[in-house]
Structure 1
Amino acid sequence: MTKFSELNLNPKVVKAIEEAGYDTPTPIQAGAIPPALEGRDVLGIAQTGTGKTAGFVLPMITLLARGRARARMPRSLVLCPTRELAAQVAENFDTYAKHVKLTKALLIGGVSFKEQDAAIDKGVDVLIATPGRLLDHFERGKLLLTGVQVMVVDEADRMLDMGFIPDIERIFSLTPFTRQTLFFSATMAPEIERITNTFLSNPARVEVARQASASETIEQGVVMFKASRRDREGTEKRALLRALIDGEGDKCTNAIVFCNRKTDVDVVAKSLKKHGYDAAPIHGDLDQSQRTKTLDGFREGDLRFLIASDVAARGLDVPAVSHVFNFDVPSHAEDYVHRIGRTGRAGRDGKAMMICAPKDEKNFDAIERLLQKDIPRIANPLGDATPRSDTEAPADQETSGKESKSSRSRSGRSRSKQAEPKSVAQDTKAPSEHKSDQQAHKKPSPPPQKPQSKPADKPKPQETQSGKTDNSSSASRGRRNDRDNKVVGMGDHMPTFIAKSFDERRTG
């Protein structure tokens, strides 16, 4: 078996490797380091968590051990898609170059330009940067790339997803044609392959695993989840996440929970903290100082749950992550491989669990096609019971309340009938007569007054709900014959002394 001491690395570099506790290189390291030391371009393709970072850091330190950098002209350049990955590469240089006198500078967003300009002015051997901040320094006239001897593009497929490919092409055009290029990626999309054909010269292709394959040390599983109601999906999904965490018990020493959206990252982190879990969010909208503090706390074991967007899915090396929970199914199938690659690193065992809602089934099918195998289904730990939050009313109580209201509105008349027995004659009354009876019971009868109108010998005409006169009353038929003698618009209860004035006008 090959050892680092057999790879022709600088003895001081080998000493730093041994002090870090490593002896045997991973397959990607054993395949990429020899051609890189020969000065050849390298195209490395390997799944995440296989040690690609050391695969280019170690030969770079060996190649740059001799020589000295000039002001504003770095000797090597490492491009990373995210701030966290760039900071991690910088830590690797500090670890493996501690016995070699090399200087480095880290150019990332969220940090003052002044400090970065001061480091560049002194001259750096290794410049580690994100594409946007690097071009900012170049456009301000603070940086020249004509002295770059070795250029590294790390996580190239993530660069493609984040829209950095035009920036990468521009940066390539600013570096010397004679540079050595080390290109590393977990997948080879057509656009990535076009760039390698354009900017790499006869590269040594090192592919140690099938593209976008998951590590065999990771136990995978998925819960097919369907909410009881659409408006309760988020609440029930968070309850399911807590149930999955509780089901792992002490085996879940720490975990990363991935969400697709930044807003969901904040909501899930807040929910877990509310229920007593030690959790904190990390995503692109947070200040760099807060992101760094959160990530350091997770690495040191002070934080148990890291709730993250895909900004933390690529390249972050936290060796002892026991679990990964995908709160959302990733939109891109390749992102699933990178997410679960945060666990099961360096030969350790890991476990990855995912929650799949009906709307995510299309993306889930794409993941299984990419992996070329089925992900085992996990039974819902909550069973058929609908999980409820502490602040929301139970769904069954809300439903029963609605049903009771509707039943009261629909059967109000039937219950009033059951309240007291009625005769057959009463049952045949029109609906308006029932209403009149109810109003008579509610309103007190007025005191007796001196009669000012004709005796009410004739019964009042009753109208049905359809607006037609009820012909069942002979008195009503009699009043209908006198309709022409009535004053239109004055109603049926017009006093006699008012009607008399109208009668005089008619006869006069």
Structure 2
Amino acid sequence: MPKARRRSAHRSERFEEMALPEELLVALEEQGLVRAFEIQEAILPDALAGRDVLARAETGSGKTLAFALALTARFRGRRAHRRRPLGVVLVPTRELAVQVVDTLHPFARAVGIRAQLVSGGMNIDKQAEALARGVEIIVATPGRLLDLAERGDLMLDRVESTVIDEADHMADLGFLPDVATILQAVPMGTQKMLFSATLDGKVEEIVDRFLVDPVSHETAPVAAAVRTMHHHVLAIAPSAKREITARLAARRGRTLLFTRTQLGAERVAQELVEVGVAAAALHGAKQQGLRTNVLAGFRQGAFPVLVATDVAARGLHIDDVTMVVHVDPAEDVKEYVHRSGRTARAGAEGTVVTLALPHQTGATRRIVDEAAAEVAWDEAPDADVDVIAALGGRRPSGEPVDDPAATKYKGAPRKLDLSRADGANARRAAERRLNEELRAGWDEGDATATPRRGAGRGRGRPARGSGGSTRRAGHGPRRRGKGTR
């Protein structure tokens, strides 16, 4: 990879001191945004000048606003031809695409241009119709963009600026071949900008092939050592995991819980609803409309707890998330950094808690050390230890609440089939409690006794090695494949 020029960031300055159109300054002021964050001040001069940019900054540092301002300032007052946008933003997930479009819209309106979401899981014909009318900026997932291009509904020969957001995550998900195909269709020599919290070797091929003399900006090391983020690891007993999770979720404030699997996310959300904590699950197996609905409700504060797989770990910005709980510990340092980065965003205070079972403590210690996080370690054999209360944990009411996923929220799709939701219900709760009683009975039995062959199965108890209490305490299978997102 050619060595990119590096420019050091200066002290943060006011947006009004930058070369931004008056319309954008008014839109920024209306949102209460007056002074640029470090990454915005660093990259905006180069982005506005049409330079190729590589930008690395901690999550929540304001990357999305930076390229949104650059694109809308550049295309101010322009009109795109039918099916031929001027700017393309590539993102890895539908949720991030929605968020980027939401960020773009007020600035696009201010300068008289249009931004369009182009994402899978939504009606492709309606997206094609919008492109046929002409839009200046599209925010797209790679697969859907290629689908529209193959249909002849989208052409990239007039693109002047291309943004690749979360470039390392694109690589992790195997999207780089699609990204390369898209960039091959974009005129060479036009502006390319890559943004990510981490930029590693997997992105080098894209940089080598498509960027010209890029300027590199780094505002923070790749670590979770954000000044306003407080890290805790609780070494817990398997039998206490469910109760500790419930008490942390019942705290005051907006809380985001991460699990390893889709099944784990649904199960934890259902358990919380049953004990009186309004929580909903978000994962890749949900119908897109339901995912959008759940995110809309959580953003609006309609319910305080979101339980998610790593589909929510990258790029999503939700205001006022004051605690992230790794119900299942992260499997590597990048996953830990991105999950944790959903809190303590833009200088706000935030707390990160990891629940580590005995067999997970060694790997967890290695990961937080690699993340350069200053961590407080505590033993939590049960939910009554002082550290749970110190973290704001409270005993939930124990009375079931309405499932938040079964409510339609403002901003959700108009046609939303809530009947397809897989929320909590009495039958599943009864089955789960029966299974837990049977497993608990097995755990409390004489561990030294040799059971008769098949005895446990005959009475409905799991045989040894068949996924008993250790599997339950871990909230789902140990390993996670790509399909769990």
What is the TM-score with the length of structure 2 in the denominator?
0.77
Aligned twin of 1:142: 153
C-alpha distance in 2 between matches for 1:144 and 1:73: 5
**What's the Cα RMSD here?**
2.4
Name the counterpart of 1:86: 97
Q: In 2, distance between residues paired with 1:305 and 1:77?
A: 33
Paired positions, count: 393
User: Is the counterpart of residue 310 in structure 1 residue 310 in structure 2?
Assistant: yes
Structure 2, unaligned stretches of length 5 or more? 1-11, 386-431, 452-485
Structure 1 partner of 2:130: 119
Local SS of the residue matching 1:98 = helix
Q: Which residue of 2 aligns with 1:478?
A: none
| CA–CA separation in structure 2 for the residues paired with 1:394 and 1:145 | 60
Alpha-carbon offset, residue 163 of structure 1: 1.1
Aligned to 2:328: 328
Task: Map 1:89-108 onto structure 2 (within 5 A).
Answer: 89-108=100-119
SS at match of 2:154: coil
Match of 1:223 in 2: 234
C-alpha contact 1:240 1:381 (8 A) present in aligned 2: no
1:401 and 1:27 map into 2 onto residues whose CA distance is 59
Spell out the pairing of 1:79-478 with structure 2 (5 A cutoff).
79-227=90-238, 236-246=240-250, 249-250=251-252, 253-361=253-361, 363-380=363-380, 382=382, 391=434, 392-393=436-437
Write the distance in 1 (CA, Å) between the matches of 2:191 and 2:122. Answer: 29
Match of 1:21 among 15, 20, 32: 32
Partner of 2:425: none
Residue 97 of structure 1: CA displacement? Answer: 2.4
1:406: how far off? 8.9
> Would you say the 8 A contact 1:156–1:185 is kept in 2?
yes
Rg larger in 1 or in 2?
A: 1
Shift of 1:198: 2.5
Note the alpha carbon deviations across 1:448-493, whole angstroms, 9 max, x for none: xxxxxxxxxxxxxxxxxxxxxxxxxxxxxxxxxxxxxxxxxxxxxx
2-side partners of 1:134 and 1:59: how far apart?
22
Is there any run of 5+ residues in structure 1 with no aligned partner, and where?
229-235, 408-508
- Tell me which moved more, 364-373 or 41-50: 364-373
Q: 1 CA distance for matches of 2:441 and 2:287?
A: 44
- Please say if residues 156 and 184 of structure 1, whose CA atoms lie closer than 8 Å, have aligned partners that are also in contact: yes
Shift of 1:164: 0.7
Classify the secondary structure of the residue corresponding to 1:317.
coil
Q: Given the superposition, is the C-alpha separation of residues 395 and 58 from structure 1 closer, same or farther in structure 2, using an over 3 Å criterion?
A: closer
Aligned partner of 2:51 in structure 1 is 40
Specify whether residues 239 and 121 from structure 1 end up closer, same or farther in structure 2 by C-alpha distance, changes over 3 A only: same
What residue identity is the alignment partner of 1:266? E
Q: Given the superposition, is the C-alpha separation of residues 115 and 268 from structure 1 closer, same or farther in structure 2, using an over 3 Å criterion?
A: same
Tell me, in whole angstroms, the C-alpha distance in 1 between the residues paired with 2:288 and 2:277. Answer: 24
User: SS of the residue aligned with 1:376?
Assistant: strand
| Cα distance in 1, alignment partners of residues 138 and 305 from structure 2 | 32
Call closer, same or farther: CA 1:381–1:95 in 2, change over 3 Å.
farther
1:182 is paired with a residue whose SS is strand
Is the alpha carbon distance of 1:406 and 1:107 closer, same or farther for their aligned partners in structure 2, counting shifts above 3 Å? closer
Q: Label 1:14 to 1:224 Cα distance change in 2 as closer, same or farther (>3 A).
A: same
Matched with 1:418 is: none
The DSSP-based 3-state class of the residue aligned with 2:82 is coil
Q: Is the 8 A contact 1:20 1:95 kept in 2?
A: no
Taking structure 1 as reference, are residues 358 and 58 closer, same or farther at Cα in structure 2, changes over 3 Å only?
Answer: same
**Deviation, structure 1 residue 397:** 6.2
1:364 deviation in Å?
1.8
Q: 1:104: Cα distance to partner? A: 1.7
The amino acid across from 1:243 in the alignment is R
Which digits, 9 at most, give the CA deviation of each residue in 1:229-267, with x for residues without a partner? xxxxxxx42222123345xx43xx111100111111111
Q: Deviations over 1:115-154 (max 9, x none)?
A: 0010010111001100111111111221111110000000
Q: Is the 8 A contact 1:330 1:363 kept in 2?
A: no
**Separation of aligned partners in 2, 1:118 and 1:225:** 54
- d(CA) in 1 for partners of 2:126, 2:92: 21
Shift of 1:365: 3.8
Change (3 A) 1:172 1:360: farther
Paired residue for 2:84? 73
CA distance in 2, matches of 1:34, 1:260: 40
TM-score normalised to structure 1 length: 0.73
Q: Give 1:311 shift.
A: 0.7
CA deviation after TM superposition for structure 1 residue 295, in Å? 0.4
**Aligned residues of 1:57 and 1:92 also touching (Cα < 8 A):** yes
Q: Output the amino acid matched with 2:202.
A: E
User: In the superposition, relative to structure 1, how do residues 242 and 133 fare at CA in structure 2: closer, same or farther (>3 Å)?
Assistant: same
Cα deviation 1:403-434 (Å, max 9, x = unaligned): 99999xxxxxxxxxxxxxxxxxxxxxxxxxxx
The answer (yes or no) to whether the contact 1:16–1:98 under 8 Å persists in 2 is no
Please give the secondary structure, in 2, of the residue aligned with 1:351: strand
Residue-by-residue CA offset, 1:339-380 (whole Å, 9 max, x unaligned):
111111121111110111244345424422422355221231
- Structure 1 counterpart SS, 2:110: coil
Letter in 1 for 2:21: N
CA distance in 1, matches of 2:262, 2:188: 40
| Distance in 1, Cα, partners of 2:223 & 2:65 | 20
